[in-house]
């Protein structure tokens, strides 16, 4: 379950960076003529982070649902024990 959570945190951070910085970098280029190609390339690689976060969230939910404690609770509700 921890690797799934780790992936979720990584993808959420990358999505936040992409969403908050992409427009600012483009505005800096248009207003000041600053070429930030190296940073722009790194941030553009984060474009699919939101989709990857959604995939990691599905995996995390599945892992959390079938943790030992939750699985025991589900079985006891099904069996009535």
Question: What residue spans define the domains of the chain?
Answer: 2-79
- Give the residue carrying structure tokens 């006891």: 76
Measured CA distances, 6 to 11, 16, 41, 56, 65 (Å): 9, 15, 24, 9, 17
**What pLDDT, on the 0 to 100 scale, is given for residue 24?**
81
Q: Consecutive 10-residue runs of the chain (81 residues): their mean pLDDT? A: 82 93 74 71 91 87 70 80 59
Q: Are 50 and 44 in contact (CB under 8 A)?
A: no
Cα 6 from Cα 65, distance rounded (Å): 17
What the block records as the tokens of 20 is 């908050």
């Amino acid at each position: 379950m921890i690797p799934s959570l780790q992936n979720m945190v990584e993808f959420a951070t990358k999505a936040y960076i992409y969403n908050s910085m992409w427009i600012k970098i483009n505005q800096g280029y248009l207003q000041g003529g600053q070429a930030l190609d190296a940073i722009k390339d790194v941030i553009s690689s984060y474009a699919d982070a939101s989709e990857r976060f959604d995939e990691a969230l599905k995996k995390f939910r599945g892992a959390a649902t079938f943790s030992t404690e939750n699985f025991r609770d589900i079985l006891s509700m099904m069996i009535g024990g």
